[in-house]
Amino acid sequence: MNLTRILGEREAAIKHVLDSLMPWRLFKNARRVADAGTGAGFPGIPLSLVLPDTQFFLLESVQKKARFVQSAVDALELPNVAVIPLRAEEWLQKQRVDLVTARAVAPLEKALPLFAPALRNGARALLYKGPDVENEIALAQNDARNRRIKIQIVERYQLPDDLGSRTIVELSA
């Protein structure tokens, strides 16, 4: 279906599945998690497999992607996953979750206004970012201060085979 640009099996396993799972401990106390812009189901599907007691809402407004993710959820028989074919900011204004996550969705300065309603309702956001996130944080800092949102780096890790490093950034009100 051409949902990602990564074609090699090993590279896909590392850059999608392993990358989704590396920070799993940061998710383990959340009961309801929204995966904003889930794309091909990452990180939501891998996390839902290792956290079966957590309810995951995979938000994807691109219908082709949402249909694919729904078929994957059906094939894997994941009772703790719901695929929501809506824009994340639309759904988050009406629903309450403990945690919002996003992987490769938007720079922090664009993510702040998208996730601010959920943060005001008590949620946290864990965003998967690359190694140079400090520039994004600097660009978003004034808006975050105005919205009373705290930005902090909570985890960094290296992917195997020199396939990159990741930074998990937490947003909280």
Report the chain (173 residues): mean pLDDT per 10 consecutive residues: 64 91 96 96 97 98 96 98 96 95 92 93 95 94 96 97 95 96
- pLDDT score for 9: 84
- pLDDT score for 104: 82
Mapped onto helix, strand or coil, the DSSP state of residue 74 is helix
Task: Determine, yes or no, domain membership for 4.
Answer: no
Full residue range of the structural domain in which residue 21 is found: 9-172
Task: Determine, yes or no, domain membership for 70.
Answer: yes
CB of 33 within 8 A of CB of 41? no
Task: Determine, yes or no, domain membership for 131.
Answer: yes
Task: Determine, yes or no, domain membership for 23.
Answer: yes
Number of domains the chain contains: 1
Q: Which two tokens stand for residue 132?
A: 């140079």
Q: pTM here?
A: 0.93
Reported residue count of the chain is: 173
> What is the C-alpha separation between 29 and 27, in angstroms, rounded?
6
> What is the C-alpha separation between 171 and 173, in angstroms, rounded?
7
Tracing tokens 């309801």 back to the chain, one arrives at 32
Task: Determine, yes or no, domain membership for 149.
Answer: yes
What are the residues whose beta carbons fall under 8 Å from the beta carbon of 69, sequence distance 6 or more? 38, 40, 41, 44, 45, 58, 60, 83
CATH of the domain at 38: 3.40.50.150
CB of 54 within 8 A of CB of 31? yes
Task: Determine, yes or no, domain membership for 1.
Answer: no
Task: Determine, yes or no, domain membership for 2.
Answer: no
H/E stretch holding 16 reads: none
Looking at residue 126, its amino acid is L
